[in-house]
Structure 1
Amino acid sequence: MMKKKKMGLIPLLLSLMMCTALFHGCMANDDVPIQINDDVLGLIVFKSGLHDPSSRLGSWNEDDDSPCSWEFVQCNPSTGRVSEVSVDGLGLSGKIGRGLEKLQNLKVLSLSFNNFSGSINPELAFITGLERLNLSHNSLSGRIPSSLSNMTSMRFLDLSHNSLAGPIPDEMFENYSSLRSLSLSMNFLEGPIPSALLRCTTLSNLNLSSNQFSGNLDFSSGIWTLNRLRTLDLSHNVFSGSVPDGVAAIHNLKELQLQGNRFSGPLPVDIGLCPHLSRLDFCHNLFTGSLPDSLQRLKSLVFFGVSNNLLAGDFPQWIGSMSSVEYVDFSGNGFTGSLPASMGDLKSLQFLSLSDNRLTGSIPGSLFYCAKLSVIRLRGNGFSGSIPEGLFDLGLDEVDLSGNELEGPIPPGSSRLFESLHSLDLSRNKLTGSIPAEIGLFSSLRYLNLSWNSLRSRMPPELGYFQNLNVLDLRSTSLFGSIPGDICDSGSLGILQLDGNSLTGPIPDEFGNCSSLYLLSMSHNELNGSIPKSFATLKKLEILRLEFNELSGEIPKEVGSLENLLAVNVSYNRLIGRLPVGGIFQSLDQSALQGNLGICSPLLKGPCKLNVSKPLVLDPYAFANPINGQNRRNESTTTPMRFRHHMFLSVSAIIAITAAAFILIGVVVISLLNVSARRRLAFIDTALESMCSSSSRSGSPPTGKLILFDSRASQNWITNPENLLNKAAEIGGGVFGTVYKVSLGGGPRMVAIKKLVTSNIIQYPEDFDREVRILGKARHQNLISQKGYYWTPQLQLLVTDYAPNGSLQARLHERPPTTPPLSWPNRFRIILGTAKGLAHLHHSFRPPIIHYNLKPSNILLDENCNPMISDYGLARLLTKLDKHVISSRFQSALGYVAPELACQSLRVNEKCDIYGFGVMILEIVTGRRPVEYGEDNVVILNDHVRVMLEQGNVLECVDPTMSEYPEEEVLPVLKLALVCTSQIPSSRPTMAEVVQILQVIKTPIPQRMEAF
């Protein structure tokens, strides 16, 4: 007899899960029993709660008798029961619901790299025989359920890269005697390490990094008794105290990562007695003292990082004995002495950073023997002598020797260097000679900084050969002669700074070829001639500095059409005439124009010189009757007074007509604006009324439907639509649209509604729904939550939380006199909270959610000055995600655009947000805007703070309205901001690293004093 096909099984499965008789006795209509395999049932129930957009689980068929032939499922051949389910990276979403607990023979469950949300289902603990559980790289939240302790067979547990919070349950590891590997990294877990973890004596891999775990790691914590550990990663937490001697007890330890905590005291003296160590990272802590001599025994060490601590003493002369080391980072400490010649023994060395120490002496020529070296950073020391020529014979990718006392010429490069080098910084030294002609052969060079030297040469025409150069900084380099016209032939140059030289001659017309240029600065030179009209083609130009030159003529009126131009300074030249109409020129400050006695501006005193052509003579008979025209011309010669009288009347009439036309146009414009305003309010009322008509929580959005992710809010809206319409009010606007505040159900709770601009916004409801729901999953205490949306082809609205206490922009720059200034604790709270919110966007989603438009007006504050980031990820709603669109329109805040956005070969990524975050730190600490006018020049805050730091006067930049602040916190915060605003994106930290660095900076005073 053929088995009857099971029809409509999925609607019955949840109720059938309650049947303890395993469906025996349940009969179909023809009395034929339906027997369902437990594994089929469990997997089908699990699948029914998921969203599978690509139908990757299409082979999972409810009509099959066994799931062993299904894709992503493996069975035990002897029992026929499911032993492994691995659905990694299939783009699945939804919650981990019921069903999987039916798979009682399951050994491996892997759901990583999906978008599962909600909490971890406690019923997973019913799978007591599970040996491997991998839920990493999802969006899981809530606490780790204590019921997981029932999985006594667990060997491999990975819950990393989620949003899990709270402490680890104390009883979590009581029964995990077989546990080999545990990873809880990249979550928001907190508290001490549970003591029960010490019972996992077989543990070989422990990764608790990038959380908020705290406590001391002395012998009483017992962490060092896990002597089978091979990798221990406790990085980027808030652990404190000293690391005691005794690490050598972990004989098999290969990787020890403690970076980004608050560890203090000396490094353990026996650390070098772990013979198998290959990675050792103590960076970003508060360690003191010198490096233990035992480190020279680590013959297998590959990665060695101790940067940004308080270490001191002479640079270790035994460094050459680490024959296997590839990565060395000692930057940001207080090491003294010179580099030994034995540096050349590091044959495997690839990365060397010794920046910001107190090293002296010459750079050893033996580095030439480090044939694999690709990055060398010796910035901010006291190195003297010349640059070893052999150094430039290596295949280096990055060279930073800035801020030293190096002398002599720049060595010529080798063919290997020509192909590999992408960043060269030799600024702030005492280099002499000329810029080598070979420099034009660096085909991969993207960043070149030779500023603040004494090169005393002409600008080599070979500079135009660069095909990928994004930044060229030759400030105060003693250059003379003219500027080569082909400097922008490549079209990739984004920043050109030539200030403080002796350059002469006109500005080349070929500057119009600099299509990617957004910062052009040539102040304090001897340039003459007129400003080229070709500047009008620099559509991306944002900052133009030409002050203190000898430029003459009028500013071309075409330059007024540059929409992105945000800062201009042409002071102290010989310019005349009227300013261009439009753009930034109508709001220029006096300091940007002074010193030009011929410019016509109400801001300037003195004569106004118009560079106009000869007077235009009008022939009053030009349109006369051709028959009588000649007689009238003859007649005019005998009546000159009459002719002048007619001309006077004609000019007066023209003036009167022109004035009347302007008045009429003004009246019409004002009337149209009033009508537009009334229509806009009516339009919003109509839109909001239609919003209240219905609601839905899931599925594709029907036209004109309100989609709210919180059903309770939906009910409030529907029951009180009159109050909603009466209290809707406009509260602001931005590049993405206008914002209104609305009362929910007439009650005290308010929400914000953003009416999106229609240009470039997604016009397909399914795509719009998908992108907004992704943003809706970004739930964090430092993010403004997305509550829902409304969509029609003509109107798109976003519903978000409402923040009643204003923005950071208002508190910094628009503060009324009666409001006290922000204190340092509040400023630090804003910086840290914003960092945590951005870290959640960057690290909790794959692909990451990038803000694109970070600036103070998008940081909203609550009553305790806790920040909440708004407008994040809205560029996802654009039909075309283009870095040029982003940089020119949506990153409109002056000074916040990352420099690489001008380089067409680089993509928009998280590093752009990190650059903007660094600028925001500077703005918070200094109280100044990122770009503003000084008395005689344009002050770029980033450059200003960097110079003041190098001169040792950086605390003079701190906002004077802060009467008290701890220097030991403010100074490292400013340094962090400068690292975040590095010109090279790869040099900027991740947001997770930023959070950990900030947490290290906020060290309690007793611990900080103890560290010193």
Structure 2
Amino acid sequence: MLLHDALVSLLFFLAVSFTSADPTFNDDVLGLIVFKSGLDDPLSKLASWNSEDYDPCSWAGCVCDPATNQVTELRLDGFSLSGHIGRGLLRLRSLHTLVLSNNNFTGALNPELTHLGTLQLLDFSGNNLSGRIPDGFFEQCGSLTSVSLARNRLTGPLPVSLSYCSTLTHLNLSSNQLSGRLPRELWLLKSLNSLDLSDNFLQGDLPDGIGGLYDLRRINLSRNWLSGELPSDVGACSSLRWLDLSENYFSGSLPVSMKVLGGSCSFLRVRGNSLVGEIPEWIGELAALETLDLSANNFSGNAPSSLGNLVFLKELNLSTNFLSGEIPQSISNCSSLVSIDVSKNAFTGDVLKWMLFSQSSSRFDLQKRSGNDSFLSNVGFLQGLRILDLSSNRFSGEIPSNIGILTSLVHLNISTNSLFGSVPSGIGGLKLAEILDLSSNLLNGTLPSEIGGAVSLKQLNLQRNQLTGQIPALLSNCSALNTIDLSENKLSGEIPGSIGSLSNLQYIDLSRNNLSGSLPKQVEKLTHLVTFNISHNSITGELPAGGFFNTIPLSAVTGNPSLCGSVVNRSCLSVHPKPIVLNPNSSNPATGPPLGGQIRKSVLSISALIAIGAAAFIAIGVVAVTLLNVHAKSSVSRHDAAAALAMSVGETFSCSPSKDQEFGKLVMFSGEADVFDTSGANALLNKDCELGRGGFGVVYKTSLQDGRPVAVKKLTVSGLIKSQEEFEREMRKLGKLRHRNVVEIKGYYWTQSLQLLIHEFVSGGSLYRHLHGDECVCLTWRERFNIILGIARGLAYLHGSNITHYNLKATNVLIDADTGEAKVSDFGLARLLASALDRCVLSGKVQSALGYTAPEFACRTVKITEKCDVYGFGILVLEVVTGKRPVEYAEDDVMVLCETVREGLEDGRVEECVDGRLRGNFPAEEAIPVIKLGLVCGSQVPSNRPEMEEVVKILELIQCPSQEFE
């Protein structure tokens, strides 16, 4: 890197010197060539940039002034370039537009770039720039009007020098890692039209003075750590159209000054804060509003009737507050509504009654109407509605029979209320609906066959109701369905075979009903299945074989007494032919009667003959296996002896003294003479030195010649590794990994039939031993949290190195006895063996510990990704917090940890899930978010699980500064 920088500097110096000597030479050409010399251009996008061409105006990304032929714009957006943004660009004296966005530029910002007096637009967004924004970056910003450094890795505070950019109209520093307080000088940018500082770590109160930005039209400060009350003078920004302060820590109430924004503000979002009080009546004065999002705060009281004045409103979100009362009837005036979300409040009244009122209706007319069907008889204002979420409130009443007139509806959620009556046949009229959730109500009656008319359905949730009758066969018309949950009802009859035509199905839960009959053979066609739960019914017969059903968990089929198969450990009755009985009184007519007249009874059945044959076969098998074991032990002994011989040779990187494969090859990545002594190698055969056994091998402790301990894993699947080149390539990659939370691989030993992996020795043993061992000492909360954070950092590092673990479980996390650090181990083997083992073998061999297996392992057509590790991490989080194993067996039941914790969360008993040995000695403000994070990571749907880098950030945010619970 130093040589490269020196070369670039030399080129720049030569360019300056040469142009001084020859003023006719084009400065722009030299500047661009010097800039290009510091770049990596994998797609040859800059192939047209030729130093022998003195006219850069035809070069890719360059725009010139036709009068002077000087470069005025350089636009390299999305060119896949990498490297540093070099000084060569300073030669472009007429440059006013510089766009290098969506590349992979690295390094720190060069403060000289803004010293180009002509520069007006600078866009470096979507790169990997790091470090602080230099204090001098904006000191000579000249005529800059637009700056975007979004989506980089910039850190530190905002420079005060920003205030020097008096001509700046657009500033976007979003999606970085900026921290500290907002400088008061920021409000000196009087020309500012747009300010986006979202998705950073900015903190503290908003300083006074924002009201002086009269031209400000758009401000986004969302997803930071800002706190205090909202600025009282924000209403003075008379041109403000877009205000997003969501997901911060703001408190207090909405400032009254906001109501003067009525003529301009079309977007107001303050979700995810701690705002309190009632939603003010003056909210209706913001007549231009198209989006109003007040969700996830602490607002209380009734929803104001003035909401009806917002005639341009398209999105209304009041969810997750403490609002009560009925939905105001005036909302029917909002004829442009596309999305309504009032979920997770305490609203009451008849469900959908508020939909009844429209501008053309009078109260007198409404009083004349009778029957529930009138609820939706005049809802022209809702014809464009696409999202309606009324879930988790206290609504009652019946679902109107003509609900199908909401023809644009895509998402309908009325779950967790007190709705009664039947599911109307009109539900089939929701032709565009993709999500239909009526779960956790008091609905009864049968599920209408007309539901097959909702042909766009992807998710159908009707669990926890009182539905009866059969599952309609016409459900198969909804070919896009991927989720069906009809659990905890009173459904009866057989599971319709037509369900097998729903090829996109991934999640089916029919548990806790009265279903009977055998499983239809057609379900074997469902190749995308991740969950199939039929527990606690009266299903009979044999479970299907193959695919998903080879790995279906016991908890998904338990409670069906007449179900048989290997999963339920119950043999299926077979129809055998009746035994053949030889008549004892018959005789051979050719030989005459038996001697002495004695009749000898002889009864031989086919089953007896089979038993005799089986006994003979077993006896022969025992002898054969014994002989094979003797031979195998002899062979292994020869190979282990060869390993010991190779390890005793004092060479590194090349320990192959002979072409004979028995001697093998020993490689140590350290480059030093870290080899085993002879006694250390022989210890591999000593059971006393065994540390543990896993799905792929046995781990022993031994020592290097200098006495340092190491762990050696002797693979027991050596026959599956066919290619030495592939094995060594993978080992070299793993040997380069260095992270405090990842076990270091120090070397390996290879022969065709024996492979050894040499790891660092971690003295504290496995996480499993610390949690469940016979002599375990109860971990403190702080120790548990640090272990979780260490695992997350280790996994994030592996994923960043393009390595998927596949085998994450408590026995594969080691604890350093000195530091308490968690270290992830046993990674990379599944990838090495993936070409030799199919997925079914991997799911059983690699994920040998029950409970950690991601559901998609069971489906051959679903891609196995890093999200499998995230699932295992989620289960580990719950295991560390609760102190319980992922799956535990009671006398007549199975406890699945993830399900138990989720139920505790839903019932408000989440603190009871924490390991009782802590005796309440833990911070709930840490424990509860950690448990929720574990459940999110352990989601059944891979796309719902976060990336491990996000997990690390979340944990760092959760971590409390208090040391009270050390």
Same fold (TM over 0.5): yes
Q: 1:348 to 1:742 in 2, by over 3 A?
A: farther
Instruction: State the distance in 2 between where 1:633 and 1:370 align.
Output: 108
Instruction: State the distance in 1 between where 2:943 and 2:575 align.
Output: 54
Instruction: Report how far residue 83 of structure 1 moved.
Output: 5.0
Instruction: Report how far residue 787 of structure 1 moved.
Output: 12
Query: What is aligned with 1:969?
Result: 926
Q: 1:865 to 1:305 in 2, by over 3 A?
A: farther
Within 5 A, what are the aligned runs for 1:621-700?
641-644=600-603, 650=609, 653-660=612-619, 663=622, 667=626, 692=653
Query: What is aligned with 2:310?
Result: 346
Instruction: State the distance in 1 between where 2:887 and 2:716 align.
Output: 28
Query: What is aligned with 2:671?
Result: 716
Instruction: Report how far residue 511 of structure 1 moved.
Output: 4.5
State the secondary structure of the residue aligned to 1:318. Answer: helix
Q: 1:202 to 1:809 in 2, by over 3 A?
A: farther
Q: 1:557 to 1:376 in 2, by over 3 A?
A: closer
Given that residues 262 and 1003 in structure 1 are in contact (C-alpha distance below 8 angstroms), is that contact kept between their aligned partners in structure 2? Answer: no
Q: 1:360 to 1:930 in 2, by over 3 A?
A: farther
Instruction: State the distance in 1 between where 2:179 and 2:600 align.
Output: 97
Instruction: State the distance in 1 between where 2:592 and 2:545 align.
Output: 40
Query: What is aligned with 1:699?
Result: none
Is residue 260 of structure 1 aligned with residue 223 of structure 2? yes
Query: What is aligned with 1:958?
Result: 914
Tell me which amino acid in the other structure corresponds to 1:617: P
Given that residues 56 and 90 in structure 1 are in contact (C-alpha distance below 8 angstroms), is that contact kept between their aligned partners in structure 2? Answer: yes
User: Over residues 841-870 of structure 1, what are the superposed CA-to-partner deviations in whole Å (9 max), with x where a residue is unaligned?
Assistant: 99x99xxx8969695578787745467799
Given that residues 240 and 263 in structure 1 are in contact (C-alpha distance below 8 angstroms), is that contact kept between their aligned partners in structure 2? Answer: yes
Instruction: Report how far residue 491 of structure 1 moved.
Output: 5.4
Query: What is aligned with 1:361?
Result: 325
Within 5 A, what are the aligned runs for 1:425-464?
425-464=413-452
Given that residues 258 and 282 in structure 1 are in contact (C-alpha distance below 8 angstroms), is that contact kept between their aligned partners in structure 2? Answer: yes
State the secondary structure of the residue aligned to 2:916. Answer: coil
Instruction: State the distance in 1 between where 2:224 and 2:948 align.
Output: 15
Instruction: Report how far residue 826 of structure 1 moved.
Output: 4.6
Find the partner of 1:106 among 89, 92, 100: 92
Within 5 A, what are the aligned runs for 1:370-385?
370-385=334-349
If asked which structure has higher relative contact order (CA below 8 Å, sep 6+), I would say: 1
Instruction: Report how far residue 455 of structure 1 moved.
Output: 0.9
Within 5 A, what are the aligned runs for 1:320-335?
320-335=284-299
Find the partner of 2:565 among 580, 594, 598: 580
Is residue 92 of structure 1 aligned with residue 78 of structure 2? no
Instruction: Report how far residue 539 of structure 1 moved.
Output: 4.8
Q: 1:15 to 1:281 in 2, by over 3 A?
A: closer
State the secondary structure of the residue aligned to 2:446. Answer: coil
Instruction: Report how far residue 728 of structure 1 moved.
Output: 14
Find the partner of 1:526 among 514, 517, 523: 514
User: Over residues 759-808 of structure 1, what are the superposed CA-to-partner deviations in whole Å (9 max), with x where a residue is unaligned?
Assistant: 999x9x99x999x99x99999988899999999xx99x999997958999
User: Over residues 599-627 of structure 1, what are the superposed CA-to-partner deviations in whole Å (9 max), with x where a residue is unaligned?
Assistant: 56xxxxxxxxx745465323779xxxxxx
Is residue 194 of structure 1 aligned with residue 194 of structure 2? no
Query: What is aligned with 2:369?
Result: none
Within 5 A, what are the aligned runs for 1:133-172?
133-144=98-109, 155-172=120-137
Within 5 A, what are the aligned runs for 1:391-410?
393-410=382-399
Within 5 A, what are the aligned runs for 1:9-88?
40=29, 43-44=32-33, 47=36, 50-75=39-64, 77=66, 80=69, 82=71, 84-88=73-77
Instruction: State the distance in 1 between where 2:401 and 2:645 align.
Output: 71
Find the partner of 1:242 among 205, 210, 219: 205
Q: 1:409 to 1:91 in 2, by over 3 A?
A: same
Given that residues 159 and 183 in structure 1 are in contact (C-alpha distance below 8 angstroms), is that contact kept between their aligned partners in structure 2? Answer: yes
Given that residues 347 and 395 in structure 2 are in contact (C-alpha distance below 8 angstroms), is that contact kept between their aligned partners in structure 1? Answer: yes
Q: 1:648 to 1:404 in 2, by over 3 A?
A: closer
Q: 1:414 to 1:489 in 2, by over 3 A?
A: closer
Given that residues 889 and 895 in structure 2 are in contact (C-alpha distance below 8 angstroms), is that contact kept between their aligned partners in structure 1? Answer: yes
Q: 1:479 to 1:839 in 2, by over 3 A?
A: same
Query: What is aligned with 2:362?
Result: none
State the secondary structure of the residue aligned to 1:970. Answer: helix
Q: 1:920 to 1:1004 in 2, by over 3 A?
A: same
User: Over residues 808-856 of structure 1, what are the superposed CA-to-partner deviations in whole Å (9 max), with x where a residue is unaligned?
Assistant: 974786x5344545544455456667777888999x99xxx89696955
Tell me which amino acid in the other structure corresponds to 2:47: G
User: Over residues 153-192 of structure 1, what are the superposed CA-to-partner deviations in whole Å (9 max), with x where a residue is unaligned?
Assistant: 6544444444444444444443335444444443444333
After the TM superposition, which of the residue ranges 408-417 and 854-863 deviates more from structure 2? 854-863
Given that residues 541 and 564 in structure 1 are in contact (C-alpha distance below 8 angstroms), is that contact kept between their aligned partners in structure 2? Answer: no
Structure 1: which 5+ runs fail to align?
1-11, 27-32, 108-128, 587-598, 601-609, 622-627, 695-705, 1007-1012
Q: 1:947 to 1:429 in 2, by over 3 A?
A: farther
Instruction: Report how far residue 571 of structure 1 moved.
Output: 4.1
Tell me which amino acid in the other structure corresponds to 2:92: L
Q: 1:179 to 1:656 in 2, by over 3 A?
A: same
Q: 1:832 to 1:213 in 2, by over 3 A?
A: farther
Tell me which amino acid in the other structure corresponds to 1:193: L
State the secondary structure of the residue aligned to 1:406. Answer: coil
Is residue 316 of structure 1 aligned with residue 286 of structure 2? no
CA RMSD of aligned residues (A): 6.1
Q: 1:151 to 1:1000 in 2, by over 3 A?
A: farther
Query: What is aligned with 1:388?
Result: 352
Is residue 568 of structure 1 aligned with residue 569 of structure 2? no
Instruction: Report how far residue 225 of structure 1 moved.
Output: 3.3
Instruction: Report how far residue 738 of structure 1 moved.
Output: 12
Query: What is aligned with 2:466?
Result: 478
Instruction: Report how far residue 477 of structure 1 moved.
Output: 0.6
Within 5 A, what are the aligned runs for 1:873-952?
922=878, 924-928=880-884, 944-952=900-908
Q: 1:678 to 1:924 in 2, by over 3 A?
A: same
Q: 1:876 to 1:755 in 2, by over 3 A?
A: closer
Number of equivalenced pairs:
903
Tell me which amino acid in the other structure corresponds to 2:580: L
Given that residues 491 and 516 in structure 1 are in contact (C-alpha distance below 8 angstroms), is that contact kept between their aligned partners in structure 2? Answer: yes
Superposition TM-score, scaled by structure 1 size = 0.71
Tell me which amino acid in the other structure corresponds to 2:91: N
State the secondary structure of the residue aligned to 1:430. Answer: coil
Instruction: Report how far residue 336 of structure 1 moved.
Output: 0.8
Find the partner of 2:169 among 204, 207, 229: 204
Instruction: Report how far residue 551 of structure 1 moved.
Output: 4.1
Query: What is aligned with 1:697?
Result: none
After the TM superposition, which of the residue ranges 176-185 and 916-925 deviates more from structure 2? 916-925
Instruction: State the distance in 2 between where 1:745 and 1:19 align.
Output: 55
Instruction: State the distance in 1 between where 2:261 and 2:699 align.
Output: 60
Query: What is aligned with 1:618?
Result: 580
Give the fraction of aligned pairs with identical amino acids, expressed as a percent.
38
Q: 1:946 to 1:500 in 2, by over 3 A?
A: same
Find the partner of 1:305 among 269, 273, 277: 269
